[in-house]
């Protein structure tokens, strides 16, 4: 279980020093979950400026009352990071949340399953948004492949994935085990193949077409979504 740092009751001026001290106290590969009462964008800017390449920033909940972000210390700190590494790491992270959801659903722990699934859905929705709004347009601009290229196929699959996310969440909320099982199977079939195509084709090709500056920009903008 991750450490939790809830700063909601702290005086505002004490929050950032406390957060950075907690971060500095992490061993490589460790993380903590920050809980806050507003969107922690200024904090993210500070991480981007002062700790480039050293951390991961994974939002788990984005309001309206509570914001939760998992902040990790990367195992190997490196300011230059490939698109492939970043998005692939996010795929693995989401797989792990999804497994928690499956275990909870299989054990009939529906409240836990619902909160795990919401985390998964938020993460995957942000991931897809980053691909569609930040990475794919750059890929299309560099390759000229728009209507018949790989991004076109990926976007069609994203649409199906998002529909299934909606279906699984509503059926988890209403505890309809049969429907959840059916939609889960469909989602896993699409997602396994989808992620593999991205990891083997789209991300590495993106890395080969874009400059180091563009790559850094993609990753910064993605974190800010």
- Token pair of 160 as six digits: 């199906």
Please, what's the b/e burial string for 21-47 (b: 16 or more CB within 10 A of its CB; e: otherwise)?
eebeebeeeebbbbbbeeebeebbeeb
Q: Which two tokens stand for residue 4?
A: 């939790």
Nearer to Fe ion, 119 or 131 (CB): 131
Least distance CB 118 / Fe ion (angstroms): 19
Nearer to Fe ion, 114 or 168 (CB): 168
56 vs 198, beta carbon nearer Fe ion: 198
Longest dimension (CA), the chain: 54
Among 72, 198, 202, 223, binds Fe ion (CB under 5 A): 198
Closest to Fe ion by CB, 54 or 119: 119
Strands (E), the chain: 3-6, 31-36, 55-62, 67-73
Residues in the chain: 225
Residue labelled with tokens 């590495």: 204
Interacting span for Fe ion (CB under 5 A) from 12-20, 138-146, 190-198, 211-219: 190-198
Site membership for Fe ion, residue 86 (CB under 5 A): no
Residues in 117-176 that interact with Fe ion by CB under 5 A: 131
CB of 57 to Fe ion, least distance (A): 17
Classify 25 as helix, strand or coil: coil
How many residues lie near Fe ion (CB under 5 A)? Answer: 2
- Shortest reach from residue 198's CB to Fe ion, in Å: 5
Segment lying near Fe ion (by CB under 5 A), choices 53-61, 66-74, 101-109, 193-201: 193-201
Q: Which secondary structure element, helix H or strand E, spans residue 113, and what is its range?
A: helix 110-130
- State the residues that interact with Fe ion by CB under 5 A: 131, 198
């Amino acid at each position: 279980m991750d450490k939790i740092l809830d700063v909601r009751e702290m005086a505002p001026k004490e929050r950032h020093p406390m957060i950075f001290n907690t971060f500095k106290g992490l061993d490589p590969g460790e993380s903590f979950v920050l809980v806050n009462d507003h969107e922690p964008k200024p904090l993210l800017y500070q991480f981007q400026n002062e700790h480039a390449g050293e951390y991961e920033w994974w939002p788990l909940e984005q309001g309206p009352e509570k914001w939760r972000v998992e902040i990790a210390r990367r195992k190997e700190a490196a300011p230059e990071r490939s698109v492939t590494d970043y998005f692939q790491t996010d795929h693995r992270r989401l797989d792990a949340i999804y497994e928690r959801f499956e275990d909870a659903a299989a054990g009939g722990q529906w409240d836990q399953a619902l909160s795990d699934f919401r985390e998964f859905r938020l993460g995957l929705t942000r991931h897809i948004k980053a691909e569609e709004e930040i990475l794919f347009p750059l890929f299309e601009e560099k390759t000229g492949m728009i209507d018949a290229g790989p991004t076109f196929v990926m976007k069609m699959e994203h649409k199906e994935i998002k529909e299934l996310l909606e279906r699984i969440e509503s059926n988890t909320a209403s505890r309809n085990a049969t429907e959840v099982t059916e939609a889960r199977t469909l989602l896993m079939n699409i997602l396994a193949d989808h992620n593999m195509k991205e990891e083997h084709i789209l991300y590495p090709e993106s890395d080969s077409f874009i400059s180091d500056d563009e790559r850094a920009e993609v990753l910064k903008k993605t974190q800010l979504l």
